[in-house]
Amino acid sequence: MNTTSAIEITERIRQTQIADRVVAAAEAVSRLVSSGISQEWDLAKDSEGREGVRLRLTDGFGGEATTDFLPGELSIVRHVEEKTRRLADALGAVTIWQSEVHTLCVRIREWIRELGEDVYIEAETVALHEPQAGHYRADGLRIRFGVGEMVVRPVARWVVGANGRVDFLGSEERFTLILIESEWLWVDDMAILDRDLFLKLARDCLGLA
């Protein structure tokens, strides 16, 4: 049991009639999550456009995950606890996934330099939404070389048969990579992504092949 996680409830919520219920729910969440995880509560609409509140959990490693509650759900402690447990699990998965994507981007920055001096690389932050983790962000890249452009875009953490998906979207080609046991594989032939394979795919994306 832990009661030290940071809680932030927005002023917008405090001015509503459900403020007390949110405070009680936040206390229930605190008892379930570890001390390094912070909570932020704000008013939000869920994926079906219904008014409610959004809980965002963040950890000290840049990981984040959200879930939405309808006002009526906040009063059912068991329901809040169940959703919190699932969200905390999703947060752990997202944190690892974000780290894997970040490491991939670092490697790509190094590999792409082999194409030439005038490769232009821009870091991007990609907003993602998945049922398991709600809204979160992950690293991406935009690469320009000559007239060609290629985007490295994280697509999903939850993929049937893999632990994540990143797409290379080029002016001419698009390829999909999947993460299995900390290895990035090109899904078309399940080859492990190394420098040579990356450069081959990048050349196709940029229209150089």
Partner 1 sequence: MSNPLDPVIAWFTTARDALRIAKRSITRKPLGLITDRHTQFFGIPAEQATDNVVAAEEELNRLVVLALVAVFERTLRDSIINRSTPHLPNASLTDRRIIDQITQDIEFWHFSQRLLEVFDTVELALRGQVRQLVEYRNWVAHGRSAVAPPPVNVLPQLAYERLSKFLQEAGIITV
Contact set with partner 1 (CB under 8 A): 47-48, 129-131, 155-156, 158-162, 165, 171-174, 176, 178, 187-188, 190, 207
Closest CB to partner 1 among residues 70, 123: 70
Minimum Å gap between C-beta 130 and partner 1 is 8
Alpha-helical segments (H) within the chain? 11-14, 19-32, 77-112, 195-205
DSSP letter (8 states) at residue 131: T
CB of 151 to partner 1, least distance (A): 13
Closer to partner 1 by CB, 85 or 129: give it. Answer: 129
Contacts of 126 (CB under 8 A, 6+ apart): 137, 138, 139, 140, 153, 154
CB contact at 8 A, 148 and 206: yes
Question: Which residue, 46 or 81, is less far from partner 1 as judged by CB?
Answer: 46
Task: Closer to partner 1 by CB, 62 or 207: give it.
Answer: 207
Nearer to partner 1 among residue 89 and residue 114 (C-beta): 89
Closest distance between partner 1 and the C-beta of residue 23, in Å? 31
Cβ 146 to partner 1 shortest distance, Å? 13
Tell me which residue has tokens 């970040």: 102
**In terms of DSSP bridges, do strands 7-9 and 38-45 run parallel, antiparallel, or are they unpaired?**
parallel
DSSP characters over 36-84 = T-EEEEEEEE-TT--EEEEEEEE-TTS-EEEEEE-GGGGG-HHHHHHHH
Nearest distance, CB of residue 32 and partner 1, angstroms: 24
